[in-house]
Structure 1
Amino acid sequence: MNLFNLRIMNTVQNQIIRNLLVGIGALLLAIGCSNDSTDSVRPFASKVSLTLSRYYNAQGTTTLPVWESSSQAGVYVPGSSVASYASPILPGSQTSLFLFSFEGPRQEVSTIVGFWPADAPVFCENGRLQTTIPTLQDGTVSPCLIGKSTGRLDSYEGCEMTLSQIFCVMYISVKKGDYAVREVTVKANGGEAIAGELSVGIDDWAASASEQTITVTLPELLDCSQEAQIIPVMIAPVTLNKGYTATLTDTDGNSFAVSTNDPVELTAGGKYDTDEAASSYATELIFCGDNMIYMINADLADATGYKDAVTWSWDATTAATTLGLAASRCNHLDDCKPVNNGKQILATSSYHWCVLLDVETQQILFHTTSSSNAHSAEILPDDRIVVACSEGTGSTNNVLQLYNIASPNVIVDQVPLTSAHGVVWNEANQRLYAIGEQSLQVYSLKNWDTATPSLELEKTIQTPQNGLHDMTLVNSNTLCIAGKRAYLYDIGADRFTEMTLFSSSTSIKSLNYNDETGELWYTDATHPEGSQSWSTQTIRYATDMNASSETRTIKVPDLDMYKVRVLNW
């Protein structure tokens, strides 16, 4: 087709549209003038311009629909419980003009409600809009776009409105792991209704629902072994004053949950992302070395490597600007302790720094570069942190340092501890325990509700061996202490019990013990691996603290590793 013919066709097409609009205007004027009575029922037509909005889809992204020639939209006018339907005059775009036909009295200024798609279960009566959010869902997201506009329906100018999604989409995040999910149930902790019959006030657009539970049964099992997944849930746009609980069920019938007790506002057309849910039947580990921290699902790792099991990682060189250090000094990580229910990590480095890291955002919430040869840290009550600073010749070596999280780099208090290597807070007896060289020291918190808090030494206990490297809290009455050999310390009885599995170990860098199951995860540099005399490249697992050898290993061949921690047994 040549350019001349194309121009003729465009001109003709535009003329047809203009003639159609003029015809619509004439029709409106003719109908509007045919009867001046405001009470008599008569047919009339209305021009309405409708714009479709983006809505969140099942993939966690957005979909922008356009008007198709085969599609229709619906409109409710005041006083009518029956919708009128029309097809787009200008299909193929996000916005189109529609011509709706009605029967009723002459229209004054009023509010009308439009919706798409035309087969959506939308009803309008007595000033309220009614639709349905299924209580039984399958993980798909169906659009239900609704809008309103106020004006004279029978005027030549007509009216226009934007149609937006009426409900919210909750995306339940499921962490990578050796499991598959088949079902999830969502409830509001405060008992609010979140699905069923959704009623929306046309004047204030306030919404209320009728049912308290949504169950999503997936048509295909959600395999989480290769990557993290999301499960979309269509949910009412209401406020959950006490948060929610989403309970997931895997293919073995095991249940695990993600929840919050904080208020959650679910907005119409918006989305809400949950924290990551992880099966409590999967073991999650955190380990560190060089400039890296990794989280892995231990069930997905094996003796040959860990890469396929990684669920999260952090590169310390990304903190160089915050710390004010060269990237080469954002290295030598020696601890990566999960705190605050695993939502944060206290990371320390032998290159004299410590950070409190938010897992989800990877934002640094606290930092200090004044902690010489930092080897471990701990969260204390009232948003304070204590850092164990090990050997060296400076004034900030061989000490425990106290900080306020809100004041980076400001040392609030400092107490001596030779070769400080580990710190643990015991909430049950409100005491801080710290190890260094061949001593276990017990501290109380002094003047804690003032601007000058301090650590007060109450007791020093000699340990069976020197060269201590690590200490963890087993339960409220038991500490696990390791370095040269390993011991359980009974706080009440003031007694050490040797763990004979480690009777030949001289350099245990980390040891985590579960007294309920007998499991142990640890790193042992008695026979160093990697480029350092203190490093290892093997994470070890055992099921008996008095066994003769470990049960399994996970190789980390690309890292001079120091410590491993258990996020979830």
Structure 2
Amino acid sequence: MKRICILLILLFIAFNNSFGQQVLKKGFLVACGDDKLFIIDPNKSNNNHTEIIWKWVVSEAKSLPAEYIPLLKSLDECKPVMGNKKILVNSSSGATILVDIASKDVEFYAKTPMSHSVDLLPKNRIVVANSTHPKGNSIELYDLNKNEKVLFTDSLYSGHGVVWNPKDNLLYVLGYQLLKTYSLINWDTENPSLKLESSWRISDKSGHDLFRIDADNFLISTHNSVFLFNTSIKSFTDFTLLKGKKDVKSVNYYPKNNSLIYTIAEESWWTENIYMVNPNKTIKLPNLKLYKVRKAI
């Protein structure tokens, strides 16, 4: 009997470890809106059916102080990280968290006013972009091992995008009408910071989303269109597939197969639809104020 119990325990552990590794497979989508996260299999989804294989609600979170529940009522970023085992999440209601997919637990939390974007940096640190709020309009640096402790901050009006580029070891940051780059300073110490290196003015206002296509190219969505920024020649050009498309809230593009995945504001700032090109389909999440979608790679 004792051997059977031990075997069952080992099988349970193995199942959960396997689940954590496999639930967010490459090509799957992570979507967020209201107080919910979803993992979707796009290959089994179409205009009439959405294949949801994992769902998380803020109220399910363990190890999260109760005061954070109202700060997570409007999720607006959900980036897969750490081998697609965890998800970095922002809420414009005032918080940033790290969710473990297998356990559904929150492993990091911080109060981040009107936060709209977050990305993972070397040495288990993250950077958050905060939008228009009396305590926002900034980027903030954190260590994932130190809840709520701000390590560094800098001003950024209407912060909406932060993306790390490992090729040039620079952080790219999107504000209302500016694209900036920062380098990492004192990164091997307990007091790291960021140094502003460059700044470019965008030809449109209200930057919404920043996406890294590859080591040399980024997409920037604004109020009136979507632009391509090349890091080598430091120039903005129209992104043909979404030229003139207004209020794109999230954009993901993969040039190898000309695949595009995006969300666009259709009801005020939100939508119920995920749009895909190559393959062409619309994935619906009815009764959800959906903001962004990301693809596991």
TM-score, structure 2 as length reference: 0.91
Counterparts of residues 242-391 of structure 1 (less than 5 Å): 273=18, 275-277=20-22, 283-306=27-50, 309-319=51-61, 322-325=64-67, 327-369=69-111, 371-391=112-132
1:491 and 2:240 matched: no
Summarize the alignment of residues 103-502 of structure 1 with structure 2, pairs less than 5 Å apart: 273=18, 275-277=20-22, 283-306=27-50, 309-319=51-61, 322-325=64-67, 327-369=69-111, 371-394=112-135, 397-484=136-223, 485-502=225-242
* CA apart distance, 1:320: 8.3
Q: 1:453 to 1:328 in 2, by over 3 A?
A: closer
Instruction: State which structure, 1 or 2, has the greater radius of gyration over its C-alpha atoms.
Output: 1
1:562 aligned partner: 291
> Of the candidates 269, 275, 282, which is equivalent to residue 540 of structure 1?
275
Tell me: CA distance 1:274–1:565, structure 2 relative to 1, closer, same or farther (3 Å). closer
- Preserved contact between residue 172 and residue 276 of structure 1 (Cα < 8 Å): no
Change (3 A) 1:276 1:463: same
Mapped contact 1:486–1:499 kept (Cα < 8 A): yes
SS at match of 2:241: helix
Give yes or no for contact 2:251–2:263 (8 Å, CA) kept in 1: yes
Match of 1:226 in 2: none
2:19 and 2:272 map into 1 onto residues whose CA distance is: 35
CA pair 447-539 structure 1, distance change in 2 beyond 3 A: same
Residues 380 and 326 from structure 1, CA distance in 2 versus in 1: closer, same or farther, beyond 3 angstroms? closer
SS at match of 1:304: coil
Once the 2 structures are TM-superposed, how far is the Cα of residue 279 of structure 1 from its aligned partner? 10
C-alpha contact (below 8 Å) 1:295/1:313 kept by paired residues: yes
Match of 2:250 in 1: 510
Q: Counterpart of 1:419 in structure 2: which amino acid?
A: S
Unaligned runs of 5+ in 1: 1-50, 63-167, 174-229, 231-271, 544-549
> Equivalent residue for 1:553?
282
Partner deviation per Cα, 1:147-206 (whole Å, 9 max, x = no partner): xxxxxxxxxxxxxxxxxxxxx869976xxxxxxxxxxxxxxxxxxxxxxxxxxxxxxxxx
Higher relative contact order (CA 8 A, sep 6+): 2
Flag the 1:277–1:330 CA change in 2: closer, same or farther, 3 A. closer
Shift of 1:330: 2.6
2:123 match: secondary structure: coil
| Higher fraction of helix | 2
**Displacement after TM superposition at 1:333 (Å):** 0.3
In structure 2, do the counterparts of structure 1 residues 52 and 418 end up closer, same or farther at CA, with 3 Å as the change threshold? closer
Gaps of 5+ in 2: none
Greater mean alpha carbon deviation, residues 295-304 or residues 321-330: 321-330
* TM-aligned CA distance change 1:507 to 1:360, over 3 Å: same
Displacement after TM superposition at 1:558 (Å): 1.6
Structure 2 residue matching 1:337: 3-state secondary structure: strand
What is the distance in 2 between the residues matched to 1:385 and 1:316?
21
The 3-state SS of whatever aligns with 1:411 is coil
Deviations 1:245-301 (A, max 9, x none): xxxxxxxxxxxxxxxxxxxxxxxxxxx857544797x73100000000000101122
Matched, 1:54 2:4: yes
Percent of pairs with identical residues: 30
Q: 1:473 to 1:441 in 2, by over 3 A?
A: same
Partners of 2:258 and 2:188 lie apart in 1 by 39
Shift of 1:432: 0.3
CA contact (8 A) 1:317 1:331 kept: no
Note the 1:64-103 alignment, pairs <5 A: none
CA 1:52 to 1:372, structure 2 compared with 1: closer, same or farther past 3 Å? closer
Shift of 1:321: 6.8
CA contact (8 A) 2:221 2:227 kept: yes
Letter in 1 for 2:173: A
Q: Pick closer, same or farther for the CA change 1:329–1:497 going to 2, 3 Å.
A: same
Change in 2 beyond 3 A, CA 1:382/1:295: same
User: What SS does structure 1 have at the residue aligned with 2:64?
Assistant: helix
CA apart distance, 1:326: 6.2
Identify which range, 454-463 or 488-497, moves more after superposition: 488-497
**Cα root mean square deviation, aligned:** 2.6
SS in 1 for 2:104: coil
CA distance in 2, matches of 1:564, 1:288: 7
Deviation at 1:551, TM superposition (A): 2.5
Q: What does the per-residue CA deviation read over 1:89-126, in whole Å, with 9 as the maximum and x for residues that have no partner?
A: xxxxxxxxxxxxxxxxxxxxxxxxxxxxxxxxxxxxxx
Letter in 2 for 1:295: I
1:172–1:275 CA contact under 8 A, matched in 2: no
C-alpha contact (below 8 Å) 1:412/1:452 kept by paired residues: yes
Distance apart, 1:429 and its partner CA: 1.0
Q: TM-score, structure 1 length as denominator?
A: 0.49
Q: What SS does the corresponding residue of 2:256 show, helix, strand or coil? A: coil
